[in-house]
Amino acid sequence: MKKLKETLDKVITTKPEIIQFAKDRKFEEAWILSIDQDRPSENAISEYLQKEKFEVIIVEYIWHPEDDDKRVVITIFLDKKCLLKDPKIFMHISLDLFYNYPRFYVFIDIINDKIIGKDYLLNTPVDSINIGVFNHWFSVGPVDLWSKGDSYSLKTITVKIKARANVNKSTLNFQGLFFRFNVKGNLDGPYYGIKTPCCTKVQNDWIVDLQKVDYWMKVMLGL
């Protein structure tokens, strides 16, 4: 999967502009921070963690949030497969990477070393792919497009997307094409994923762009 790392290293050449944390997949309630904001204080982090009980904390880094052609999101779950267990340390490492972002390769290496505990990210093929409305993933509901073992067919994928009008076109937020890794938890590492460009905004609506879907599915699947 070195080729995928190299491809993403060429695509992700700037600092992420947004970081957000979510608990137990409650993305609609995410704590969203912009690179223009000051780093949260220790008290703010503690208050966020103590606000309610949770099992898993998630971080998402967003590059080019306003650009439908360049937007990329990386999602990392601090689950039981990670060597790191402390949510507060996880948040501090995540914020360090956000406010002092290195190049992509180094970013991946630091997460592997300090959070996961081994060389892990992007070392295995994609498990499955779905598409949904960002930060409305479960309230709207994603569309499953592909799973490991399926043949690739843009025609089939097009039918699936167009059958879900509220995903194909949305005023809520942009859509994300979500490439999921270690979905079944069989690997010795956490569940994680990458969202790539897949839509174009037309006036007040985000509409799925099938050319972008086709391009990124082929890139991420190595087709």
Average pLDDT for residues 132-136, to the nearest whole number?
93
Give first-to-last CA distance, the chain, whole Å. Answer: 13
Predicted pLDDT at 1 = 56
Please write the tens of the pLDDT for every residue from 12-65. Answer: 999 999 999 999 999 889 999 999 999 999 999 999 999 999 999 999 999 999
Are 207 and 150 a contacting pair, CB within 8 Å?
A: no
* CA-derived radius of gyration, the chain: 17
Where would I find the beta strands (DSSP E) of the chain?
18-23, 31-34, 57-63, 72-78, 128-133, 143-147, 169-170, 175-181, 192-196, 199-202, 205-208
Half-sphere exposure for 162 (CA within 13 Å, toward CB): 8
Are 59 and 21 a contacting pair, CB within 8 Å?
A: yes
Cα(123)–Cα(106) distance, rounded to whole angstroms? 15
User: At 80, is the pLDDT very low, low, confident or very high (cuts 50, 70, 90)?
Assistant: very high
CA dist list (Å): 139 to 172, 201, 215? 11, 21, 27
Whole-prediction pTM: 0.92
Percent of the chain surpassing pLDDT 90: 87
Report the greatest alpha carbon distance in the chain: 51
User: At 99, is the pLDDT very low, low, confident or very high (cuts 50, 70, 90)?
Assistant: very high
